[in-house]
């Protein structure tokens, strides 16, 4: 898989299996750095065909001189273990918590995207001691305010046995399928998708048993209404929302932010970007994270 210079792959064992993660190592980053173990940035990728920690790989090296970086492939994705199961929301709430407990000494700043960002909010509500702050990109449970993705035609189609595997193998886990989804659904501008991104997603999508987590997501098994939880959040939070995010537009983000202005201190709409500005406009995303860190902490 794709690994930035100065980072190495490590792993831990959770209740659902091995989670692989990437972290900064060696003199390239660590010389003269202060309080290495006390300041951690945790980067959590979203879900979709071929998702992995690669999603943040153009962003997290920019913080490695000042922070300890952790960027896991979540269970069922990337290089992590792919248990053969129908994944449930609780699987990710549990393994995100277990990952933090096993790799971090003190509270972390979590930087997460899309459905995983929504999961992270729920983990922070249940275990506020684990978090210092949250910076979230398009956090959505995909059923917010009753707008439930799982009722869509594509989700229903992905729930048909045998057909679901066929859809994954021919429509998702191929170079053409990956590129088409990135260009038409994930990015605001198709010309921002380049070959390395397609290849990284493809390698993740073609891992053995990768279809189980992906199909659980596509069927809508992991959807929930974040609006029912977000008022309970106490952790200082900033939200970035791509203005052209196709699955959940910025109006959903504003409504979520307005439900808890005490915790959600910043809502930043990002023009001309889609669901993953961290890949589409990484330099802008880096700048926003650097702006928000001192405001929250």
Is residue 263's pLDDT more than 50? Answer: yes
Q: Can you tell me the distance from the alpha carbon of 278 to that of 281, in angstroms, rounded to the nearest whole number?
A: 6
Residue 273's CB is within 10 A of a number of other CB atoms, namely 26
Identify the CA nearest to 75 among candidates 109, 98, 102. 98
For the chain, give the percent of residues with pLDDT over 70. Answer: 91
Domain boundaries, the chain: 7-296
Q: What are phi and psi of 7, to 5 degrees?
A: -125, 150
What is the average per-residue pLDDT within 98-127?
Answer: 97
pLDDT at res. 80: 98
- Nearest CA to 187 out of 253, 287, 70, 281 is that of 281
Lowest mean pLDDT among 73-82, 129-138, 245-254: 245-254
Q: Which two tokens stand for residue 190?
A: 């198709």
- Other CB atoms within a 10 A radius of the CB of residue 4 amount to 17
Beta carbons of 146 and 121 less than 8 angstroms apart: no
pLDDT of residue 139: 97
Q: In the structure encoding, which two tokens stand for residue 18, read together?
A: 């091995």
pLDDT for the residue numbered 151: 67
Q: Is 232 helix (H, G, I), strand (E, B) or coil?
A: helix
Nearest to 43 by CA among 279, 224, 273: 279
Q: Is the pLDDT of residue 8 over 80?
A: yes
Q: Mean pLDDT across the stretch 59-80? A: 97
Q: Percent of the chain having pLDDT more than 90?
A: 82
pLDDT greater than 70 at residue 149 = no
**For residues 46-72, average pLDDT:** 96
Cα–Cα distance measured from residue 64 to residue 203, given in angstroms and rounded to the nearest whole number: 25
- Asked if the 7-296 domain carries CATH number 3.40.50.1820, the reply is yes
- Give the Cα separation of 233 and 263 in Å (integer): 6
Indicate the pLDDT class of residue 36, thresholds 50, 70 and 90. very low
Confidence of residue 169 (pLDDT cuts 50, 70, 90): confident
Whether this model's pTM surpasses 0.85: yes
For the record, the structure tokens of 175 come out as 């170079």
For 151-174, give one letter per residue: b (16+ CB within 10 A) or e.
eeeebeebeeeeebeebbeeebbb
**pLDDT score of 155 more than 60:** no
Instruction: Note whether 139 and 117 are within 8 A (CB).
Output: yes
DSSP result, 8-46: EEEEEEETTEEEEEEEE-SHHHHTT-SSTTT-EEEEE--
Q: Which residue has the higher pLDDT, 222 or 28?
A: 222
Is a pLDDT exceeding 90 seen at residue 188? yes
């Amino acid at each position: 898989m794709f690994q930035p210079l100065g980072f190495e792959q490590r792993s831990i064992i959770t209740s659902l299996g091995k989670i692989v993660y990437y972290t900064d190592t060696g003199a390239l980053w660590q010389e003269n750095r202060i309080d290495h173990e006390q300041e951690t940035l945790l980067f959590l990728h979203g879900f979709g065909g071929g998702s992995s920690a690669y999603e943040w790989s153009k962003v997290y090296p920019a913080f490695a001189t000042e922070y300890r970086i952790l960027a896991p492939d979540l269970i069922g994705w990337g290089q992590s273990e792919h248990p053969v199961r129908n994944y449930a929301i609780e699987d990710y709430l549990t393994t995100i918590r277990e990952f933090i407990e096993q790799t971090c000494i003190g509270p972390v700043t979590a930087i997460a995207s899309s459905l995983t960002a929504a999961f992270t909010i729920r983990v922070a509500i249940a275990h506020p001691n684990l978090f210092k702050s949250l910076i979230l990109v398009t956090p959505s449970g995909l059923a917010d305010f009753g707008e439930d993705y799982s009722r869509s035609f594509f989700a229903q189609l992905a729930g048909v046995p045998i057909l679901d595997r066929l859809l994954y193998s021919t429509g998702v886990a191929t170079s053409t399928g990956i590129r088409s989804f990135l260009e038409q659904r994930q990015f605001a501008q198709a010309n921002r998708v380049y070959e390395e991104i397609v290849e990284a997603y493809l390698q993740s999508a073609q891992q053995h048993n990768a279809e189980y987590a992906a199909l659980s997501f596509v069927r809508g098994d992991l959807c929930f209404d974040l609006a029912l939880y977000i008022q309970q959040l106490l952790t200082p939070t900033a939200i970035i929302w791509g203005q052209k995010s196709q699955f959940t537009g910025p109006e959903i983000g504003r409504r979520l932010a307005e439900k808890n202005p005490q915790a959600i201190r910043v809502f930043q709409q990002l023009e001309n970007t889609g669901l993953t500005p961290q890949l589409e406009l990484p330099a802008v995303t880096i700048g926003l994270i650097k702006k928000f860190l001192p405001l929250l902490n």
